[in-house]
Structure 1
Amino acid sequence: MPSFMHSYIEDIIDVKGDGHCGFRVVAEHLGKGEESHVLIRRALIRELNMFRTDYLSIYGNEKRLQYINDGLYPPKIMPTSGIAPKDKWLTFPDMGHILATAYNKVVVELTKPEIGISETFFPLRGPPPSDPFSRILCLGLIPNHFVYVKLKDGCPLPPTCKEWRIHRAKDAETWEYKFLDRQSKFEELMKIEKGEHQKNEDNPIIVIDDEDEIKL
């Protein structure tokens, strides 16, 4: 995840890395315990199929929607490796919309730019509650694994997934308004971090060893 976010993290909780890790994080956040990850899959399947027409407009075609739906079902037979195949993993941005809407949560994905995109997902339907700041669920993505990230109050948040602005219902638009200042802060800090990274690339450290050889 972006380096500047480290100081805004209260805690990081790891979960079992068996291909169900994204669903395990959600179950842990909800207080169900990570072993209840199948219940999360069921809730997302129910949300997707109850509002299938709405999600079809997001995914573009029936084939893509069905692929996502199939991915929410746990594998019928686990591989001998004990790790669920990739087509059964929690994926963003596709499942971010379903997750945020099913649980009425502000779902945040944090990761490094070289891995993916840090984004915020709001529910597609319904207005925010009186205290939307208590509804944040953050998943940290490291290579091929999710961890549960507990964020500090008032921390910066990544920008909103662009698809949300296109497909959200009218009564859901005020979700984003509540977090705009925090998203602006995130983008400001991200620009600084990217600028420092570029500066380091443009000005590599020169090391001179005992034999006066110059290495870049």
Structure 2
Amino acid sequence: MGFGQKAWRNVRKDLLQELQSMPSLYKDLIYGPKRYEEFKHALNFDKTGYAKKEYWMSMPDMGYLIATYYKVIVIYLSNAQCLTLLPLMLPSELHDLELPEIAIGFVKIGNKGHFVQVNLSSGLVPIPPISSEWHKNNDETAEHLYLRYQAREEKFKQVLPSAHVAGVTKIMDLDDDSA
């Protein structure tokens, strides 16, 4: 987001605020009440030092909160799954503006996983499919976004074999060797 590493507390606070602003939507989107409570718990961490696994932010699920709260496009890339997350709703004053794009990659080093920022080339680079959950849960104020990104999504599908493209969300366990 460009806030710097010391702003992590504010980002967590922002995402928690977003999660709690529409509980019924996010409970449906993030697999029900139990997972919703897990997200609230994970985001409600502000201690210094190492965070236990229960406080880790997971992708791509947190991507919905990031995209919607910050009004950005989140592009998630990994060997297991690639997808694009759009804001679930968008104020009318932003309808004609280009939204910033944030690309996040999941990289496996040994048996540990790390999220890294991915810098995409400028221009209309291919993007992974728009999340199927976005198609099911977006508000009419954001519906027009799909038309804006549809051609780039189609280019991505042509470049990458379908075996590497997933349109559904999956929780990625950073300690799981299969992730």
Q: What residue number does 1:44 align with?
A: 15
Which of 177, 182, 187 is 2:147 aligned to? 177
SS in 1 for 2:45: coil
Paired residue type of 2:12 = R
Contact preservation (8 Å) 1:75, 1:88: no
Larger radius of gyration: 1
SS in 2 for 1:38: helix
- Cα distance per residue 1:177-201 (max 9 Å; x no partner): 101111111111102997xxxxxxx
SS in 1 for 2:87: coil
Q: What residue number does 1:117 align with?
A: 81
SS in 2 for 1:99: helix
Q: Quick one: distance in 2 between partners of 1:170 and 1:162?
A: 15
Change (3 A) 1:189 1:56: same
Paired residue type of 1:137 = I
- Cα distance per residue 1:141-197 (max 9 Å; x no partner): 112211111211211100011111111112211111101111111111102997xxx
Change (3 A) 1:92 1:192: closer
Q: Quick one: distance in 2 between partners of 1:94 and 1:147?
A: 16
Two-structure CA RMSD over aligned residues (Å)? 2.1
- Cα distance per residue 1:38-86 (max 9 Å; x no partner): 11101000011111122122124221100011111226474xxxx4222
Q: Given the alignment of the two structures, is residue 145 of structure 1 paired with residue 114 of structure 2, yes or no?
A: yes
Higher helix share: 1
Change (3 A) 1:31 1:61: closer
Q: What residue number does 1:69 align with?
A: 40
Q: Which runs of 5+ in 1 are unaligned?
A: 1-29, 195-216
SS in 2 for 1:91: coil
TM-score by length of 2: 0.79
Contact preservation (8 Å) 2:77, 2:104: yes
Contact preservation (8 Å) 1:110, 1:138: yes
Q: Quick one: distance in 1 between partners of 2:31 and 2:15?
A: 19
Q: Given the alignment of the two structures, is residue 87 of structure 1 paired with residue 51 of structure 2, yes or no?
A: no
SS in 2 for 1:170: coil
Change (3 A) 1:129 1:135: farther
Paired residue type of 1:98 = L
Contact preservation (8 Å) 1:68, 1:94: no
Contact preservation (8 Å) 2:60, 2:76: no
Q: Given the alignment of the two structures, is residue 186 of structure 1 paired with residue 156 of structure 2, yes or no?
A: yes
TM-score by length of 1: 0.66
What is the identity percentage for the equivalent residue pairs of Structure 1 and Structure 2?
Answer: 27
- The number of equivalent residue pairs is 157
Q: Quick one: distance in 1 between partners of 2:120 and 2:84?
A: 13
